[in-house]
Homo-oligomer: A and B are copies of this chain.
C-alpha cells in the first residue's frame, strides 16, 4: 500500500483504467482499516465512500473544482488521494491530521466542517461567486441521506434556483443510526423502482441487440426514467434528478457523472453506497464502526463501556418506568446518547427525529404543552442548532422539558467543531432555564431524579467519557450547591467534572492554603447564600469550569459579586476565547493550562 503515499494520486488516477482504480479502492480500504484501527477515527463512512471519491477525483481537479464534503467525517479517502496518506499515523492527534476537511491543511479542501448539512449552502455560495466572476469551475456538494433531511440542507436546496451545481447524494440509508424520516423512505422508493426497471431491462438485454427492438426498449426505458424523475422530491425543488446509481461501481459512477456534469443548472446524482463496505464487522454493525477508538481489526468491537451517556440512558429508562409521561427524543443519536435501552423498552415513547435538532426542541415543546415530559438528549455542540427553539419555544413558555447535554466540555479528537465549550455561555442568559452540571455519575442520576419532579425547562450538561474520583449521591435541591471541604484562605468552585480538578488542586496546595471547595451542582439558579458566605469569608474565589471564559459560570459569580457590592479577588479558570484544536483531552488541558498542576501553579502565584 506504499504507493498510496506517492505524490498527487489525485492526478495519477485520471489516466488509470477501471481495473486499476478497482485495485486502488481495495488498497485504500485496507489502508483505512489498518490505520484507523491504530489511531481511532471515523471508519464506516469512509469505507463506504472509497469508490465515489476515486470517481470524483478521476473527473474533477480539486485545485479549482470544489468538492464540499458534508459533515466531513467521510473525507479520509479524499485525504489519501490528496497527499496526506503519510500523515494518517497522526490522525486526530494533537497537531496531527484532522479528522475533517481543513482548508489550512490542503489546497484540495475548500470548506471547514464537522456539523452536518452545511455543504449545499456553502456550495451554493461558491457557485454564486463563480457565476458573478464569470468562471467555469465545478462545485460539488457530497451529502448523506441523513444530512439532507436537515432543515439547513432543505433551505439551501430551496434557494438553489437555476444555479449550476452538483449535489451527490450519498445514500447509505444511515445517519449514525439507521436513518428515519419520510424523505429517507422516498429515497428507498426511488431505488426500488429503478432496480425494478433495471432488472426488467437486463432480462431483455439480448433483445436489445435487434436494432428496432433496441430503440423501442431504449425509448421505454427513457420514458420510465422520465417518470421517475418527474416524481422526485428533488425535481419539485428544481433539480435535475439522476439515479440511483451503484456507488461501488467506479465505471458507472464515472460514466454517469461525466455524462451530466455539464448540465446547466442544479443536478442531484443519487448514489447508493454501503456504510462499512468491504469490512465485514462494519457492514454488519455500521453504528459500532461510525466513530471508533483504537481496535483490533480481527475481532468485532464490543458494545460501549459505562460512561456519562450510558448512565443517563439507564437512569432515564429507569425513571420512565413509573413516570408514564416521560418521552425521550434524540436527533439521529440513539446509541451515542445512551438511549438504546429506552428505545427498546418504550418504543412508542421514543422519538428519533433524525438530524433535526431544531425540530427536536419545538416538537418537545408541543409534547410538553400537551402534558408530556420530554427528555431531549443532544451533544452540546449540536444543541447550538436549536438555540432559538430553546429560547422561543421552550423557555419563553416555561415548559416542562429537560435537555440532556452530552459531550459538554472538551471532546478530544473531534476537535474545534465538536468541543462543547460554549453551552454555558449560550444557556445562562436564557430566562426560565435551570442548569445542572453534575460532577459524577451518581450526581447525574440524582439530577435525573430531580428532573423527574421538576416542571420547568431544565438543562443537564455532562462531559464525554468516564467518571472522576469524586462521588456524591446526595439528593439535589433546586439551586443548592455543596461545600465539599471547608477552608478559610480561598474558595474554589468547581463546575461539573471540573470539581475533580478542584480537588486535585487542593491536594497540590493543601500544605500552603486552607481551601474551601464547593461543588456548584446548579449553574442556574446560583446558590447565592452558600457561595456568598464562602467568598465573604475567604475574600478570594477561584472558579474552574470546562467552558469558554466569556459568559460562563465565572461570569455569573462576577455578577453576583457586583450585585452585592463586594470586594473580592476573583480568578476564573476557563477556556480561552479561541477555537480549540483537536487532540487528546488531557493533553489539551495541559496546553491550555487547565490541568490541576497548571491551575495550582497559577493560584500559588496569584495568592
Number of copies: 2
Smallest CB gap from A157: residue in B: B182
Are A551 and B181 interface neighbours, CB within 8 A? no
Smallest CB gap from A124: residue in B: B363
Are A369 and B110 interface neighbours, CB within 8 A? yes
| 8 Å CB interface, A412-452 against B | 416-417, 422, 425-426, 428-432
- Set of chain B residues within 8 Å of A393, measured between Cβ atoms: 118, 121-122
Contact with B along A362-383 (1 / 0, CB 8 A): 1111111111101000000010
Smallest CB gap from A128: residue in B: B367
Shortest distance in angstroms between A507's beta carbon and chain B's nearest beta carbon? 25
- Asked whether any CB of chain B lies closer than 8 Å to the CB of A199, the reply is no
Contact with B along A82-115 (1 / 0, CB 8 A): 0000000000000000000001000000111111
- Set of chain B residues within 8 Å of A397, measured between Cβ atoms: 103, 111-112
- Asked whether any CB of chain B lies closer than 8 Å to the CB of A597, the reply is no
- Asked whether any CB of chain B lies closer than 8 Å to the CB of A348, the reply is yes
Shortest distance in angstroms between A71's beta carbon and chain B's nearest beta carbon? 11
Shortest distance in angstroms between A80's beta carbon and chain B's nearest beta carbon? 24
Interface residues on A, range: 35 or more
| 8 Å CB interface, A298-322 against B | none
- Asked whether any CB of chain B lies closer than 8 Å to the CB of A156, the reply is yes
Q: For the complex, what is the distance from the CA of A186 to the CA of B489, rounded to whole Å?
A: 70
Are A159 and B130 interface neighbours, CB within 8 A? no
Q: Which of B232, B382, B431, B570 contacts A562 (CB 8 A)?
A: B570
- Identify which of A43-51, A144-152, A582-590 touches chain B: A144-152
Shortest distance in angstroms between A261's beta carbon and chain B's nearest beta carbon? 19
Q: Which of B155, B368, B417 contacts A151 (CB 8 A)?
A: B155
- Set of chain B residues within 8 Å of A382, measured between Cβ atoms: 388
Q: Which of B231, B431, B579 contacts A230 (CB 8 A)?
A: B231
Shortest distance in angstroms between A558's beta carbon and chain B's nearest beta carbon? 4
- Set of chain B residues within 8 Å of A160, measured between Cβ atoms: 182
Q: For the complex, what is the distance from the CA of A374 to the CA of B121, rounded to whole Å?
A: 14
- Asked whether any CB of chain B lies closer than 8 Å to the CB of A126, the reply is yes
Are A359 and B579 interface neighbours, CB within 8 A? no
Contact with B along A148-169 (1 / 0, CB 8 A): 0111111111111100000000
Shortest distance in angstroms between A181's beta carbon and chain B's nearest beta carbon? 4
- Asked whether any CB of chain B lies closer than 8 Å to the CB of A256, the reply is no
Q: For the complex, what is the distance from the CA of A485 to the CA of B7, rounded to whole Å?
A: 64
Given A156-B363, A369-B126, A392-B115: A161 and B132 within 8 A (CB)?
no
Mind listing 10 A-B residue pairs with CB under 8 Å?
A112-B396, A115-B388, A125-B363, A127-B366, A128-B351, A151-B154, A152-B362, A155-B356, A158-B356, A159-B363
Going nearest first, the 3 A-B pairs with the smallest beta carbon separation are A151-B151, A125-B366, A129-B370
Residues of A within 8 A of B (CB): 103, 110-115, 118, 121-130, 132-133, 149-161, 180-183, 185-186, 230-233, 236-238, 327, 348-349, 351, 353-354, 356, 358-359, 362-372, 374, 382, 384-385, 387-389, 391-393, 395-397, 416-417, 422, 425-426, 428-432, 548-552, 554-556, 558-559, 561-562, 565, 567, 569-572, 577-579, 606
Q: In the complex, given contacts A103-B397, A121-B358, what are 17 additional A-B residue pairs having Cβ atoms less than 8 angstroms apart?
A: A110-B369, A122-B362, A122-B363, A122-B393, A125-B365, A126-B367, A132-B327, A132-B348, A152-B362, A155-B353, A425-B429, A429-B552, A554-B559, A555-B558, A558-B559, A558-B561, A559-B572
